[in-house]
Structure 1
C-alpha cells in the first residue's frame, strides 16, 4: 500500500475529480490520471484508479438507473470490447503519450467546432444514434479507456451530437462505462497491475470516491440542460489541451 503523504495530497483531488465526473460533470475525470502520474508511474496510477472507478460506477449507475439510452449502449459495447482487447494487445507497443496526443487533438477539434456553432445561435440538428459511427467510436473508446483511462472524449464525440436530455446523456455514460470498466479487469490482471498493494491503496480512497460521486450527482442537477452542454464542451477543450500537452512533451523531449 502506498503510504507517501505526497501521494495522498495528489490522490484526494484526483479522486474527487473522478467522482464529480461520474456524477455528471463529464470530462473532469481525465485530469485524474495525469495528476496521480506526478507522483507514481503512470501504469501504477492507472491500476489504482481502476478499482476506484468500479466503486464509483455503483453509485452513478444507481443514481441514473432509470435515465439512460439503451440503443446507444448496445451499439457501443460490442466494439468497445474489441477496442479494450486491442488496447491490451498493444499496451506495450503504443505509448501513453501518443494516445493522449491523439485523443486530445480529436477532443479539442470536436469541442471547438460545437462551441462555434452554438455561439452562432445555430445549434446543429440532433443526430440519431447510428451503427457505423457507434461501432467506430465504441472501438476508439474501448481502446483509449484501456490504454489511458481516456474513453470520455470519444464517447462524448459520438453521443453529444444527439443532444440527449442531460440526465439521459449522463446515465448512458454511467451504464456504458460501468460495463466497460469491468471489461478492463482481466487485461489489467494479465498485465500484472492489480497487485495487493495497489488494491489496498485504492480501497483506502473508496470513501472519498463514493462521497464525491454523490456530490457530482447532486450538483449537476442544478445546471440547466443547455448550460450543461456548453459546460461540457468547455471542459472538453480544457481536457483536450491538457492531453495534447501531456502527449507532446514526452514525444518532443524524450
Structure 2
C-alpha cells in the first residue's frame, strides 16, 4: 500500500532529490542520506527496498549523461570485487549487523577526508598490488552498498588519491554504482524485499530522481575542480558522521 501520510512525502521527496543531486554531480557523497531520512517515517529495511528502484532510475539518467566520460578499463577492474561483495552481503543478509559496518566506515571516511583536507600528501602506492587494492575496496563497496546503500566511502577512498579529472571520476562512479544497483535487484527480489507495496511507492517517488540528477549535473559544470574536491571531502565527512550516528544503535 502506498503511504498516505503527507509527512512521508515531505521527507521522502527531499531525500530522493538530494540523492539525485549527489549522484549527478558530486560522486554520490550524500546519496546515502536518503535511508536515515526515510527511516524517520518507516522501517529501515523498507526504506532501503523503496530506494533501490529509485537509485536505479537515477543511475539510468546519470549513465546517459556521462556515457562518454567514464574510465572503461578501471570500471572492468572494479566490478569483479563489487560482485563478490554483493554475493557476500546476500549470504549474510540474515546474520550481518550493518551497524558495525557503518561504524567502521564512518570512522574511516572521516579520517581519510580530514587527512586529505589537511594538505598532507597521500601516496597511491601500497604493499598490495593494484588489482588487489581495487578488488578490496570495490568488494567492500559492493558489500556496504548491498547492506545499506552506503557503498560510496570505500570507493572514494580508492579513487580520490588518483586525482582523476572530476568528470571522469563522477562518470566512473556513476557507471560503477549503476551496475551495482541493477545487480542488487536480483538478490533483493530473491529475499522478498521488492513487494508490490514497496515498488508502488518507489514508482511514485521515481520522477524526482532524474530531476535531482540533472540539477547535480548543472551544479557540477559550474564548480571548479579544487572546490569540487573540497566539497566531496566535506560530503565524505558528513556521510561518515551519519554512519557513526546510525551505528549508535549498537550501544
When the two structures are superposed, what TM-score results if normalisation uses the length of structure 1?
A: 0.93
Matched with 1:23 is 24
Contact 2:107/2:240 (<8 A) preserved:
yes
Q: Distance in 1 between matches of 2:104 and 2:149?
A: 14
Render the CA deviation track for 1:111-145: whole Å, top value 9, x for unaligned: 11111126xxxx54667992111010011000000
1:127–1:161: 8 Å Cα contact kept in structure 2?
no
The question of 1:85 aligning with 2:84 is answered: no
For the residue of structure 1 that corresponds to 2:69, the secondary structure is coil
How far 1:160 moved relative to its partner? Answer: 0.8
Alignment partners' CA distance in 1, 2:97 and 2:22: 25
Hey, what does 1:3 align to over in structure 2? 4
The 1-side partners of 2:52 and 2:125 are apart by: 32
User: What residue is the counterpart of 1:236 in the other structure?
Assistant: 236
Match of 2:14 in 1: 13
Q: Structure 1: which 5+ residue stretches go unaligned?
A: none
**Mapped pair 1:62 → 2:61:** no
Does 2:141 correspond to 1:141? yes
Structure-to-structure mapping, 1:135-174, within 5 angstroms: 135-174=135-174
Question: Does the alignment pair 1:113 with 2:115?
Answer: yes
Query: In structure 1, what is the equivalent of residue 193 of structure 2?
Result: 193
Q: Which runs of 5+ in 2 are unaligned?
A: none
- Within 1, Cα distance between the matches of 2:136 and 2:122? 21
User: In the comparison of the two structures, how many residue pairs are matched?
Assistant: 247
1:179 and 2:186 aligned: no
TM-score (norm 2): 0.94
Query: CA contact under 8 A between 1:30 and 1:149: conserved in structure 2?
Result: yes
- 8 Å Cα contact 2:23/2:29 also seen in 1: no
Q: Which residue of 2 aligns with 1:101?
A: 103
The answer to whether 1:208 aligns with 2:198 is: no
Q: Does 1:226 align with 2:226?
A: yes
Q: CA deviation at 1:102?
A: 1.6
CA contact (8 A) 1:127 1:163 kept: no
Output the CA distance in 1 between the equivalents of 2:11 and 2:180.
26
Cα RMSD over matched residues?
1.6
Secondary structure of the residue aligned to 2:192 is: coil
Secondary structure, counterpart of 1:117 in structure 2: coil
